Amino acid sequence: MLPLRYTGLWRALSVVILMLVLLATLSPAFWFFGSKASALVWFENADKWLHGLTFVALTLWFAGVYERRVWWLTGLGLMLFGFLVEFLQLQLSYRTAEWTDIAANTAGIIVGLIVAAAGLGGWGLRVEDWYSRRNRN
């Protein structure tokens, strides 16, 4: 983890975010979109885009609080998380698991790592610096 002042908070938020994503992926789709067919029919492959964007966001979150030297572990951990999600969806009668979802997750992780390497990684330190400057005034 980066040398953050509030490591406990960052870790707790990380767990909460992962649990919310897991809950969202295991909940019936109609909880979020009404009828999946009617909600997503306007956008081809919307499900894959949602997978990809979710994993871009997760990757950027973890790249913001962990050092660059362990980003490969972040990517690996998120890939395993994606496999876990798909495995758990296989166990549910109201969800489906697809290999293309895993591909979308992986693409999202790669894009997230590229964006992090381009300058967005380590944002947690910048947030804490901003917060401490703001509270000094």
Against a cut of 0.85, is the pTM above it?
yes
How far apart CA 106 and CA 125 sit, in angstroms, is: 26
- Taking CA atoms, 52 is separated from 4, 106, 110, 128, 137, in Å, by 28, 7, 10, 28, 40
123 contact partners, CB below 8 Å, separation of at least 6: 60, 63, 64
Residue 64 forms part of a structural domain: yes
Residue 83 forms part of a structural domain: yes
Residue 2 forms part of a structural domain: no
The residue to which tokens 């572990």 are assigned: 73
**What confidence score (pLDDT) does residue 47 get?**
87
Residue 103 forms part of a structural domain: yes
Domain extent, residue 74, equals 7-136
Please give the structure tokens belonging to residue 82: 């994606």
Q: What DSSP string runs through 84-99? A: HHHHHHHT-TT----H
- Per-residue pLDDT reduced to its tens digit, 67-97: 999 999 999 999 999 999 999 999 999 998 9
Q: What is the pLDDT along the chain (137 residues), one digit of tens a residue?
A: 999 999 999 999 999 999 999 999 999 876 555 555 555 555 678 889 999 999 999 999 999 999 999 999 999 999 999 999 999 999 999 998 999 999 999 999 999 999 999 999 999 999 999 999 998 86
